[in-house]
Amino acid sequence: MRAMLLVNPKATTTNRRTQDVLIGALSATMSITVEETAYRGHAALLSRKAHASGYDVVAVLGGDGTINEAANGLLDAEDGRDGDATDRPALLVIPGGSANVFARALGLPNSTVEAVGAVLEAIRDGRRRTVGLGQALWNDESRYFTFCSGLGYDAEVIRAVEGMRGTGRKATPTRYVNTALHHYLSTDKRHAAITIEGPDVPRAGNVFMAIISNTSPWTYVGSRPICPTPWASFETGLDLLGLQRLGMPSMVHLLPQITGARDTLPTGRHLVQLHDEKEFTLTAERPVAFQLDGDYLGEVEQVTFRSIPNALQVLV
């Protein structure tokens, strides 16, 4: 079995020793080609190259952003080809970022070393899981996502943290929480901009923030999962939670309902909730912040979201 291992040398929780241990362990079970990512979008180019070159596996040591790029390269999102998962190399992920949401949603340990042991067992036993992805289309662009996307407040927080990372500070859970709390004081809580509608979705307006999920949890704060859409799954369509109020009473009511492992939907008069949807569109009256798998993508006024079932095989 031939594998291309993509290593993000700047990932939050990886170092050269960890990389060497991983390369040695994988080399004992597969023929490995190692490639280091050098710039944003490089992992997508490398995984596309692996696909074209007939590799059996694309392995990723990195965070959610690197994994997202690798998945997009495998699906060749720019050309819009949605073939069968068995036509593509399998994806193997080893968590190396700050949150590692996709890896943890697959059931992998958050520790890089422990995750290596788990994926070696998956290789040995031939364990594969087929997962669906989400797809976002805006302007003339298209991109797949593995676990979530969002418009509004959460994307604003990600934008702020990415700005801090640009100055050399790490994206720790504490930094995300502190930034979210600080940013909440200044975000617009009076003028909602977003409307949600779709072929099978009733129109809902006056939305401040929308979370679109391909799985659950949505994210983690340290070891604690945050589950605004607890029914979301890799085996179903897309889920959504929209907030029509951002005031303190509404947030105080909502936050305990989505913190920790959950299997019940949050309740509230000012929530918009969708489950297992194939397609819907979010339109904003003014440009709003947009994120995808924790990667800030700028401001948008309209995004269409689609569920892409059976998109990838994952060794897990």
Cα distances (Å, whole numbers) of residue 311 to 157, 175, 206, 315: 29, 33, 33, 14
Separation of alpha carbons 129 and 314, rounded Å: 5
Domain end: 126, 159, 175, which one? 126
**pLDDT for 110-166, tens place per residue?**
988 899 899 999 999 999 999 999 999 999 999 999 999 999 999 999 999 888 877
In the structure, what pLDDT confidence band is assigned to residue 172 with cuts at 50, 70 and 90?
Answer: confident
pLDDT at 278 over 80: yes
Q: 238 lies in a domain?
A: yes
pLDDT at res. 79: 54
Task: Give the closest residue to 226 by CA, choosing from 246, 183, 255, 251.
Answer: 255
Ordered DSSP codes for 10-73 = T-TT--HHHHHHHHHHHHTTSEEEEEE--STTHHHHHHHHHHHTT-SEEEEEE-HHHHHHHHHH
Domain CATH number, residue 281: 2.60.200.40
Domain end: 126, 158, 193, which one? 126
Strand partners, 302: 283
Quick one: 183 and 100 in the same domain?
Answer: no
Quick one: 183 and 90 in the same domain?
Answer: no
Asked if 62 contacts 6 with a C-beta cutoff of 8 angstroms, the reply is yes
Q: What is the CA radius of gyration of the chain?
A: 19
Quick one: 108 and 148 in the same domain?
Answer: no
Separation of alpha carbons 74 and 71, rounded Å: 5
Quick one: 198 and 301 in the same domain?
Answer: yes
pLDDT at 280 over 90: yes
3-state secondary structure at position 196: strand
pLDDT at 81 over 70: no
Domain end: 126, 152, 174, which one? 126
pLDDT at res. 82: 52
Quick one: 88 and 234 in the same domain?
Answer: no
Q: 316 lies in a domain?
A: no
Task: Give the closest residue to 11 by CA, choosing from 58, 72, 73, 60.
Answer: 60
Mean pLDDT for the stretch of residues 96-121: 92
Mean pLDDT for the chain overall: 92
10 Å CB burial of residue 85 (0-12, 13-18, 19+) is buried
pLDDT at res. 19: 84
Mean pLDDT for the stretch of residues 287-308: 97
Number of domains in the chain: 2
**pLDDT for 49-80, tens place per residue?**
999 999 999 999 999 999 999 999 999 743 54
pLDDT at 83 over 70: no
Quick one: 105 and 206 in the same domain?
Answer: no
Any idea of the CA torsion for 253, 101, 73, 149, to the nearest 10 degrees?
0
Quick one: 104 and 156 in the same domain?
Answer: no
Asked if 157 contacts 187 with a C-beta cutoff of 8 angstroms, the reply is no
Q: 151 lies in a domain?
A: yes
Domain containing 239 equals: 136-309
Greater confidence (46 vs 15) lies with 46
Confidence (pTM): 0.93
Quick one: 181 and 209 in the same domain?
Answer: yes
**pLDDT for 205-255, tens place per residue?**
999 999 999 999 999 988 899 999 999 999 999 999 999 999 999 999 999
Domain CATH number, residue 15: 3.40.50.10330
3-state secondary structure at position 178: helix
Quick one: 158 and 295 in the same domain?
Answer: yes
Q: 49 lies in a domain?
A: yes
pLDDT at res. 186: 84
pLDDT at res. 78: 39
Helix (H) or strand (E) holding 308: strand 295-315
Quick one: 156 and 298 in the same domain?
Answer: yes
